[in-house]
Amino acid sequence: MHDKLRLETLAVHAGHEPETGDHGLAPAFKPATTFLRDADGGFAAGHQYARASNPTRARLENALALLEGGGEALCFSSGMAAVGAVFAQLAPGDHAIVSGDAYHGAIRFIDDWLKPRGIGVTYCDTSDTGNIERELQPKTRLLWLESPSNPELKITDLAAVAALAANRGILTACDATLATPVLQRTLDHGIDIVMHSSTKYLGGHSDLLGGVLATRDAELAAGLRAWQIDGGAVPSAFDCWLLLRSLATLPLRVKQHAESARRIAAWLTEQTAVEKVFYPGLAAHPGHETAKRQMRDFGGMVSFLFRGDEDATRAVASRTKIFQQATSLGGVESLIEHRASVEGAQRRSAHNLLRLSVGLEHADDLIADLSQALKE
């Protein structure tokens, strides 16, 4: 039945099958970490120990796989734990090409932990497929993409990259946190693995930490599952329960995030205090046509360059009243962040770049808040 349902219906019903016994419509929270053996020593119910599996996590992983259009989903304790699971598939001497505008935490992980252990890494602007082709090496085993990227919201042509990699037997993975399965069915474009930080839009309420990988390749899923179990970076049953509950409203939330972000991005382009706006929904965005082709909408993230030095830019973030100055994104509340301040040694964002996570407040109120903050 599920393969015939639209995503909005799946979000409500996937993983919410009525409980056996009392037939409760809401999934029960099951915190058990160990499970009874059968008389023959087996585990007919399918669970032995929570690091390997838990009933609540199993429900969530099934729901997420359905939202991604099939295959298998694996949940981790954080987005970075999910990132680490993908890179753990590489061996010393292997080479990876990574989006230069990837999440700064992923870049820090790569620079501090992978490169010193013999993994070769090349960063490039993957929004131009030609850049990837030029950086390929005989030992290239992974293309790590981020589309839309963070924070410049660059768009990578997923189908083109997937075709390039498939011809060479290279694994492809894409961090699609900013798109969510609502706006982009990443696996449909031929990418091998899609990753989400479920802390962000999937959870949507700034109250849980998690990461997700999904793939339709059974052999690849088995390798990732082995790492998930042996590495042990799995989410708590309660975080799984919270995330499962949040998925029901995901399509509605993402629709509103995107609608308000479109309005705010268009408004920002008209402000003399703004030098440049990064939003794939704008016709002037270099990746606009690609985004139109591979996304259902353009998302709830907007970045822009303020006409001023770093101190003046940070002052703008400090003057907002509704936009809260905090790290993270994808929650119901709107956030603003001076990205260069938090990137540390991997700092690459312009000194005058501000990133907006547009929440669910009324767009007129958010525009009024930005208007007063942009004025000295």
- The β-bridge partners of 171 are 142
The tokens describing 137, both together, are 């090496």
Half-sphere exposure of 187 (CA within 13 A, CB side): 22
- Please state, as a whole number, how many other Cβ atoms lie within 10 Å of the Cβ of residue 46: 10
- Please state, as a whole number, how many other Cβ atoms lie within 10 Å of the Cβ of residue 23: 7
Question: Pick the catalytic residue: 57, 94, 101, 103?
Answer: 103
Peptide bond into 235 cis (omega under 30): no
Question: Pick the catalytic residue: 51, 225, 319, 348?
Answer: 51
Buried b (16+ CB within 10 A) or exposed e, 55-66: bbbbbbbbbbbb
The tokens describing 207, both together, are 């109250």
Which contacts (CB < 8 Å, 24+ apart) does range 19-28 have? 27/56, 27/59, 27/241, 27/244, 28/56
Rg of the Cα trace of the chain? 21
* Residue appearing with tokens 């399918």: 46
The distance in angstroms from the start CA to the end CA of the chain is: 57
- The β-bridge partners of 173 are 144, 193
Q: Are 151 and 339 in contact (CB under 8 A)?
A: yes
Say how far apart CA 17 and CA 24 lie, in whole Å: 9
Question: Pick the catalytic residue: 175, 239, 297, 369?
Answer: 175
Active site residue 115: no
Question: Pick the catalytic residue: 200, 216, 296, 339?
Answer: 200
- Please state, as a whole number, how many other Cβ atoms lie within 10 Å of the Cβ of residue 223: 14
Active site residue 175: yes
CA dihedral (3, 216, 192, 77) positive or negative = positive
Active site residue 51: yes
> Would you please indicate which residues are annotated as catalytic (active-site) residues?
51, 103, 175, 200
